């Protein structure tokens, strides 16, 4: 599982929420530790100036993040949709948590 984010998952000062951070926290709350892929750049820039967002664009047809790529290859954008997916698919119910124990 990969979570494509902007420059990180830090708290943005004076802003109530940071979508990339919110998406990561929702996944962690559901028992996942996704590979976090920093894409830097900026969603509104032309593709040539967003080289690290090429995969985001290929997966979703647009360059804004966060974007979740699930283990079955489904791409989900919008932090609220990622959070909804996480809540509906907790890791424990997928058999991944503790599967190797
Ligand atoms: N409604 C979107 C907003 C996404 C959003 O604003 N993402 C920020 C990064 S956290 C963004 O793309 N900023 C510009 C950029 O990095 O391209 C969501 O909740 O996912």
Name the CATH superfamily, with its identifier, for domain 2-93: Glutaredoxin (3.40.30.10)
Which atom of ligand 1 is closest in space to residue 20's alpha carbon? 10
At 96 the pLDDT is 54
Protein residue with least CA distance to atom 6, ligand 1: 19
Token pair, residue 80, equals: 């609220």
What average pLDDT does the chain have? 91
How do residues 19-68 score in pLDDT, each as one tens digit?
999 999 999 999 999 999 999 988 888 888 888 999 999 999 999 999 99
Residue 19 has phi, psi (to 5 degrees) of -55, -40
Residue 4 above 50 pLDDT? yes
Provide the β-strand partners of residue 68.
Answer: 3, 76
Q: What share of the chain is helix, strand, coil (3-state, %, to 5)?
A: 40, 15, 50
- Which atom of ligand 1 has the smallest separation from the CA of 22? 19
Q: What was the pLDDT predicted at 16?
A: 81
Torsional sign, CA 32, 37, 40, 42: negative
Q: Give the pLDDT confidence score for residue 43 in this predicted structure.
A: 86
């Amino acid at each position: 599982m990969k979570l494509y984010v902007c420059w990180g998952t830090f708290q943005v000062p004076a802003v109530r929420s940071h979508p990339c951070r919110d998406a990561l926290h929702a996944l962690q709350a559901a028992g996942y530790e996704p590979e976090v892929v920093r894409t830097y750049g900026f969603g509104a820039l032309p593709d040539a100036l967003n080289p690290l967002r090429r995969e985001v664009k290929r997966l979703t047809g647009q360059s804004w993040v966060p974007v979740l790529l699930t283990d079955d290859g489904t791409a989900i954008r919008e932090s609220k949709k990622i959070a909804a997916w996480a809540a509906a698919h907790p890791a424990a119910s997928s058999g991944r948590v503790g599967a190797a124990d």
